Amino acid sequence: MQFMILLNESSAELAKRSDPQQAPVYWGGWNAFIGAMTQAGIIVKGDGLEDPSLAATLRIRGGKRSVQDGPYADTKEALGGYFVIEVPDLDAALEWAAKAPCVHDGSVEVRPVLRMPAPPA
Amino acid sequence: MSPLSGSAMARHAVEAAWTSYGRLLAILASRTSDIAAAEDALSEAFATALKTWPERGVPDNPAAWLLTAARRNVLHRLRHQEVQRGAVDALLLRVDERSDPEGWSTLDERLALLFVCAHPAIDEGIRTPLMLQTVLGLDAQRIGSAFLVAPATMGQRLVRAKAKIKADGLRFEVPDASELAVRLEDVLRSVYVAYGAGWDDLDDGRGLSEEALFLGRTLLTLLPEEPEVKGLLALMLFCEARRGARLDAQGRFVPLAEQDPGRWSSPLIIEAEVLLSEAARALRFGRFQCEAAIQSVHAQRGITGVTQHHALRTLYDLLLIHVPSMGVAVARAAALLEAGDLQGGQHALDALTAEDAHRYQPYWVTRARLYELRGAPSEQRAALRRALGLTEDPAVRSFLTDKLLALGPEA
């Protein structure tokens, strides 16, 4: 089964990316986590995401466009990256999610990937 | 007395009665094999208590009151079902009403409940959760969190396990002497799994480990002659004695070999030592006595100042015969390394080629130690990195990160 793991990082965690003191530990942790998943051969795809301040959110309401700086909601946690993994079940996906560096200060959401029913012939 | 303080008192009494949950459930379920129905009846009884005790006062014997109320609920349901089997059960329950919840048969029934939870027909992965729910009354959310399972999934699995007990008509009984040893090991293993699941609960101090210790003590009351019961309790107490010393003042992980024995709890160690030597007198050695003996060797460093690595090595050889698992094989390899047998340690690690071993964090920590002792920094770095990627505990994570940083940049 495929699951998407959504890696929500706290703003304190995200700030470590550009802090010369903390960056080596920050990236070291992520490299190790991604390395372990790679070695296990479970990654289908995945990416890290740039800082949420670089995001723009678009809505069209009643034909009127509205573009807003930043992510959808201004919360303490923001999406920092995602992976789609191939594992037997939700238990196994949760087990990997527990090893993500952001789980202690942020959170990890685990969602089954929707399998579209085959189109009618 | 104001109605408010009366209701506060009643609520307190209901909470206090919750400690009897496992006992009451055991009595109710042992007759019908239907744990789910017994749970419903008991929850209803608790709900009724919350409603009526504030008005009519707390009964003299709250446990007996709850049992009677729950029995009435069960009977009520059985009458509704009007099945033949139900009629038989109803008769049995009526006979039961005369027995006292404080009586000796209760102990036996609670033990029977533990045995049915760890029955060979029940899937091994659900045995411990089932025990935690039926004997201690923990909810699926809490159990699911401890075992890293979504609460909804855990809830379904518990329901399925209970349905199986009912459908297969598994008997609530303590196996006879010939079968006891085998079945007891299943029960003990499930309790130990609960202890392990609570090992990382550092914050509230009332984690699953404490519940597991409670189960261990209960088992000892129920089966005072069984050496393996003493062995398990001793093992858990040895680990518990070192709980506080696992982290330093800054919250960083401290490996066992570097722990300050002054921070170990002597009363717990003494209790464990006494249990272990009592167990030995039965002359029936087993897996839990063996594991406790290993912990005892570590604890002796607190007195002698040295670790007897060769004793550890012998004990791990023995343990591997009792428990041929990957965890024990890796722990044995680590013991060989610390005893100075690098060749033997490497050989033991190389023998583990299963894919599982490569996803097993302690395997990589032990590999890293091997390379450290061999003076091979780049292999050590790679192994530490693999271990780091497989680590959940934040304290262990920063311990490994520090080790990696201390190694310096890649050559």
- Collapsed DSSP state (helix, strand, coil) of residue A62: coil
Tens digits of residue pLDDT in B252-297 = 889 898 999 999 999 999 999 999 999 999 989 999 999 999 999 9
In angstroms, rounded to a whole number, what is the distance separating the alpha carbons of residues B16 and B188? Answer: 27
Under the banding of pLDDT at 50, 70 and 90, the label for residue B179 is confident
Integer angstrom CA distances of residue B217 from B38, B90, B352: 25, 33, 36
On the 0-12 / 13-18 / 19+ scale of CB atoms within 10 A, A102 is buried
Mean pLDDT for the stretch of residues B90-118: 61
* Domain range summary for chain A, segments of one domain joined by +: 2-112
CB hemisphere CA count around B125 (13 angstroms): 10
Tell whether B381 lies on the interface with A, counting CB pairs under 8 A.
no
In a domain, B11, yes or no: yes
pLDDT band with cut points at 50, 70 and 90 for residue A45: very high
- pLDDT for B23-81, tens place per residue? 788 778 776 678 888 888 888 888 888 888 888 888 888 888 888 888 888 877 777 66
What's the mean pLDDT in B177-203? 81
Determine the Cα–Cα distance for residues A48 and B103; give it in Å rounded to an integer.
Answer: 62
CB contact under 8 A, B148 and A39: no
Residues 151-190 of B with CB under 8 A from A: 153
Give the residue numbers spanning the domain of B350: 336-411
C-alpha closest to that of B30 among B82, B102, B87, B107: B107
Residue B180 belongs to a domain: no
Number of domains in chain B: 2
Q: Is the ipTM of this complex over 0.90?
A: no
Contact (CB, 8 A) for B320 and B328 = yes
A64-116 confidence digits (pLDDT tens): 999 988 877 767 899 999 999 999 999 999 999 999 999 999 999 999 999 88
Q: At what angle do helices B104-117 and B177-197 cross, to 10 degrees?
A: 70
Within a domain: B167? no
Beta pairing, strands A2-10 & A43-48:
unpaired
CA B129/CA B144 separation, integer angstroms: 8
Q: Which residues of A touch B149 (CB under 8 A)?
A: 90-91, 94
A28 and B392 in contact by Cβ < 8 A?
no
Rounded distance between C-alpha atoms, residue B350 and residue B366, angstroms: 12
Q: Is B354 within the bounds of a domain?
A: yes
B149 interfaces chain A, CB cutoff of 8 Å = yes
B207 has a pLDDT exceeding 80: no
* Nearest one of B326, B299, B331 to B315, comparing CA atoms: B331
Q: How far is A74 from chain B (nearest CA, A)?
A: 27
Q: Is residue B116 situated within a structural domain?
A: no
How far is residue B49 CA from its own chain's centroid?
Answer: 30
Cβ separation of B392 and A98 shorter than 8 Å?
A: yes
B149 to chain A, closest Cα gap in Å = 6
| A35 and B CB contact within 8 Å | yes
Q: Report the top-level CATH class of A2-112.
A: alpha beta
What number of residues does chain B have?
A: 411
Residue B98 is predicted with a pLDDT of 42
How many Å lie between the alpha carbon of A37 and the closest alpha carbon of chain B? Answer: 8
